[in-house]
Amino acid sequence: MARSAFTGPTARKHKPDVLRFLEQIHTEDPWSISTAMRSVLLGRTDRHALLRTITDVPVLVIAGEEDAQFAVPEVRCMAQAIPDSRFVVLPQTAHLAPLESPDLVNDAIDEFLASTTT
C-alpha cells in the first residue's frame, strides 16, 4: 500500500532504491508508515486560510508530477494561496521528491534561493 501511495510509475519502474527504502521503513518501523498514511490520506484538513497568512517571506512550493496524494492542481492551489510564492512541478516525481529526485529538488531550491538573494 505505501508503495502505491507514495511512489509514482517512474519510481516503480526505474528507481528501485526508493522502493527498497519504503520496504525497509515498512519492515523496521511500520508504525511510521501507517501514521504518515493516516495523516496524508485520512487526516488532511484544509489549510488554505492559514497559507494566506504567509507574507513577506519567499516561499517555494514544489509538486511532484506523479504525486497521487497531493496532485499538481491541488498543490498549485496551495501555492496560489500564499502571496507571491513560486510554484515548481518536478517531472517524473511523486510524493517523496527529495528521495526520488534529489538533483531536481536541489536544482529547484538553488534556483529559487538565487532568485531571492540580492
Task: Please classify residue 95 by burial: count the beta carbons closer than 10 Å to its beta carbon, then call 0-12 exposed, 13-18 middle and 19+ buried.
Answer: buried
Q: How many domains, in total, are found in the chain?
A: 1
Here the CATH number for the domain that contains residue 33 is 3.40.50.1820
pLDDT in tens, 18-30: 999 888 888 888 7
Q: Which of 23, 78, 27 is nearest to 50 (CA)?
A: 78
Which residue segment(s) compose the domain that 40 sits in? 2-116
Q: Is the pLDDT of residue 43 over 80?
A: no
Residue 79: pLDDT over 60: yes
Helices (H), 9-101: 9-14, 16-28, 30-37, 48-51, 72-81, 97-100
- In terms of pLDDT, which residue wins out, 5 or 105? 105
Label residue 2 by pLDDT band (50, 70, 90).
Answer: low
Spatial CB neighbours of 32, under 8 Å, sequence gap ≥ 6: 25
Write phi, then psi, for 52 (nearest 5 degrees).
-65, -15
Question: What pTM was computed for the model?
Answer: 0.84
The secondary structure of residue 39, as a DSSP letter, is: I
As a 3-state breakdown, the chain gives helix, strand, coil percent values, each rounded to 5, of 60, 10, 30
